[in-house]
Every structure is written in structure tokens, then in C-alpha cells.
Amino acid sequence: MTLDQHTLQLARQRRWVLKGTAGALAAAGLGSWTQGARAQAKPLPAFASWKDANSLIVHSTSTVETRRGAFGTGIVTPADRLYIRNNLTPPDASIVAAPDAWRVEVAGVAQPMTLSVGQLKSMGVETVAMVLQCSGNGRGFFPSKPSGTPWKVGAAGCVVWTGVPVRAVAAALGGVADGMRFMTGTGGEKLPEGVDANAVVVERSLPLGAMDDALLAWEMNGAPIPLAHGGPLRLVVPGYSGVNNIKYVKRLAFTAGESQAKIMSHGYRITPPGAKADPSQPSVLAMEVKSWIESPGADGGTVARGTTQIVGLAFGGARALKGVEVSIDGGQTWREAKLIGPDLGRYAWRQFVLQADLQPGSYTLASRATDAAGNVQPQQRMENTGGYNNNSWADHALKVTVA
């Protein structure tokens, strides 16, 4: 990419209305505009200052979203563009300086034990590519404006994790103890003093079967996991939404019951509109089939007429992806898109493309994915108070003007 193209792309991401060529923009002093825009945007939090600000929307010091159109076309989301969601202040950065020294307590097995990351590395190794997606991704499309970050598409990424299978750890410690029905992970943040730990701790319980594909991971996209993403050690559970992937995991327990932490009992529940969250409502656990278009038009700008590659991202959630259809008329007619690039496994996302000849006019571009079990991405979101699990294709459609 030339510098001019790059500048143009940056400007598009900033949603400026563009007229003229890239060269003309450079001549018009676009450089100073970009600086102005950067000054206005919220800065990245210190623990994530290494990220690519131009690819991100900073909602707050604990919530950072990838811009639509900025995921890149390499399937795996680069670490410096990956979203961030922290419920608490992350631990001190010193914990990632000596990653092998981090310790995790393993309970609910025949021989409970506290293990260092160094020890875990001797117990087994496995790699998985998976979609990491916040349960609230797409909340920003809910007309009811649920409280919480109004994410659009960018609280998600496709990430490659390496670590030891949870099954191998459990087996090495004599196996899961009798009667245990859940796998419970606890985050290693320092909790504020004087408050009930259960009110704040990030602790989640998943059905025991979730351990089958789960890892205790120390590497992300080929490098030690950075603090922002849960290093030195993270519990990753392919197919389960973001919150169930516990960063800086300090305890992994097989338990008879669910965690009593508020984030488990009341947080992340599918609560009917108007009702209050309570433990009888279903938990947000496995992810559903979903897709969205990345290009053209993610910036809301005008699209050039002629042959166009409509590209996007699609995943099956807890199941493999089967296929994706694309519509250019808001869902009246659909055509099968082509899946491109290598298949990194059932938990990863795939890129898709549909080539279309777009003549001047207005278009509503939509995509609709189907998983291996035949579940089709629905037209409408399922209304719920927390704004979770939005996989509506209509909400994710893009209106574009072709000129």
C-alpha cells in the first residue's frame, strides 16, 4: 500500500467525506487533519498503548472496539487491532514480565494442586484458532439502548491460542472429582478492599463438557499473551462467548454447582425486556451462527460503480460454519458467497466474498450464515435487557450508495 492509499484509508476510517484523489488530499494537508482527529479521540489505556489506534474505537479505559472494515483480510485478527473488555482494573504489568512464574490453583480433581505456567508447559500443548466475541457484541444495534458498551461488530476477533488442554491437566491430577458438573474459572485481578468478593470477581462456571476443547493458554497469535488479553495465562473455551474466557486465570475448579459470583448469577443472563436479571434465566454461554460484511461501505462512504468484491466474516459459533449467502437488496434475494482462505477449524471465522456488478444507486448489503447443524442466522435480534447475542442479519446490514 502506498502512503497516499494508506492516508486515504485512514481518512475513510475516520468517516470523512472525501472528494478528489488521494494525491489531492495529501496536497490539501490531510496530515494535519489526521492529527486533529487523533487529538479528539479518547486515548488508548496505558496497558494497551501499543495498539493500532487507527483501527480501534476507544469507548472507555476498559472497552476498546475494532472498527468495522479494520479486521484485515488475514483471517487471524492482529493483536494490535483486537478488542479489549475488562470488568476490573487489570493486574500489574509485572505479571507478564515473568510469565512462567504465574501460578494457577487447580481444584475439584483427585489431587488438587497449584501449578506454575512453567509446569503447565510440560504437561501438554495444543493450538486452537477461535472467535473471541463479547456476549454484548452488536448491542449497539438494539433500539432499546441496553446499558453497557454499545458495540457494533468490533467486540470480536479470530485469535490463535496455544496452551495445555484442560483435559490433560485434569488427567495429570488424577481426573475430575466425582459429582462435579461445572468448570469454573476465576480471574486474577486484585479485588477492591472492603467489598464482597462475589460482587466484583470475574468468575464463570461452564457445563463440564466445555473442558473438552478448553486450554490454559500462554500464547496468543504466536507470542506470549499480553496483559491486555489475559497474560500470562488465560482459560480459553472455544465456542463460548468472551466473558467465559478468563484472563489472568488464578483458579480453575471443577465444581458441583455454579459460581456464586454476581457476574455468574445475575450478569450475562438472557433477561426478557422489562424484567430484572435473575439466576433462573438462561446464561449467555455458547455462541450462535453470525456474519457481517466488512467491505465495501463499512465507513458509510460512497462506493465506486462496477465490479465489486463484497467481503465479510462468518462463523458458526459453537459449531462449524456451513456457508454464507449475500444479498444486495436488503434480503429480498440471496446468492451463495464463496468461502475464501484456509479453514482454521470449526471455531475460527472464515472470510467470504461475493462478486457483484454494482451500478449507481442505493443498496442494502446483508449477509446470512448457516452453521453445520443447519441453523440460519435470523433476520431479527432476540430482544433481551442486556443486549446480548445479537446475530440479526438485518441489524448488521450496510446501506451503501454507489456512484
Binding interface with ligand MTE (CB under 6 A): 82-88, 132, 134, 187, 189, 202, 229-230, 242-243, 245-248
Find cell 455458547 and name the residue.
Answer: 286
3-state SS class at 221: coil
Q: At closest approach, how far in Å is the CB of 134 from Mo ion?
A: 3
Subset of 22-41 contacting Mo ion (CB under 5 A):
none
369 in contact with Mo ion (CB under 5 A): no
* Residue (180 or 243) nearer to Mo ion, CB: 243
Position closest to Mo ion via CB: 134
Q: At closest approach, how far in Å is the CB of 22 from ligand MTE?
A: 33
Q: At closest approach, how far in Å is the CB of 83 from ligand MTE?
A: 5
Among 243, 314, 348, 402, the residue binding Mo ion under the rule CB under 5 A is 243
Q: Which stretch binds Mo ion (CB under 5 A): 15-23, 79-87, 279-287, 307-315?
A: 79-87
* Residue (186 or 370) nearer to ligand MTE, CB: 186
Q: At closest approach, how far in Å is the CB of 349 from Mo ion?
A: 17
How many of the chain's residues bind Mo ion (CB under 5 A)? 4
* Residue (165 or 387) nearer to Mo ion, CB: 387
Q: Which stretch binds Mo ion (CB under 5 A): 90-98, 176-184, 240-248, 290-298?
A: 240-248
17 by Cβ neighbours in 10 Å (0-12 / 13-18 / 19+) ranks as exposed
* Residue (202 or 402) nearer to ligand MTE, CB: 202
**Terminal-to-terminal C-alpha distance of the chain:** 24
3-state SS class at 396: coil
Question: 271: Cβ–Cβ under 8 A, 6 or more apart, which residues?
Answer: 277, 278, 281, 384, 385, 386
| Cβ contact 270:284 at 8 Å | yes
Q: At closest approach, how far in Å is the CB of 46 from ligand MTE?
A: 15
Q: At closest approach, how far in Å is the CB of 25 from ligand MTE?
A: 33
Q: Which stretch binds Mo ion (CB under 5 A): 127-135, 205-213, 303-311, 372-380?
A: 127-135
* Residue (164 or 287) nearer to Mo ion, CB: 287
**DSSP for residue 262:** H
**DSSP for residue 179:** T
C-alpha dihedral (24, 26, 27, 29), degrees to nearest 10:
130
**DSSP for residue 360:** S
Q: At closest approach, how far in Å is the CB of 210 from Mo ion?
A: 17
Phi-psi region of 69 (alpha: psi -120 to 50; beta: other; left: phi over 0): left
> What residue spans of 257-351 are helical by DSSP H?
262-265
* Residue (259 or 327) nearer to ligand MTE, CB: 259
Q: Which does 253 bind (CB under 5 to 8 A by kind): ligand MTE, Mo ion, none?
A: none
Q: Which does 353 bind (CB under 5 to 8 A by kind): Mo ion, ligand MTE, none?
A: none
Ordered DSSP codes for 22-83: HHHHHHTTHHHHHHHHHHHSPPPPGGGTTS-GGGEEEEETTEEEEPTT-S-SSSSPPGGG--
Kindly state the cell numbers that stand for 295.
Answer: 467491505
Q: At closest approach, how far in Å is the CB of 354 from Mo ion?
A: 31
d(CA 374, CA 397): 21
Kindly state the cell numbers that stand for 175.
Answer: 481426573
85 in contact with Mo ion (CB under 5 A): yes
242 in contact with Mo ion (CB under 5 A): yes
Q: How far is CA 243 from CA 39, 180, 355, in A?
A: 32, 21, 36
d(CA 233, CA 113): 16
* Residue (108 or 242) nearer to Mo ion, CB: 242
* Residue (243 or 261) nearer to Mo ion, CB: 243
Q: At closest approach, how far in Å is the CB of 133 from Mo ion?
A: 8
d(CA 319, CA 208): 17
Among 25, 134, 235, 400, the residue binding Mo ion under the rule CB under 5 A is 134
Q: Summarize as ranges the residues that interact with Mo ion (CB under 5 A).
A: 85, 134, 242-243
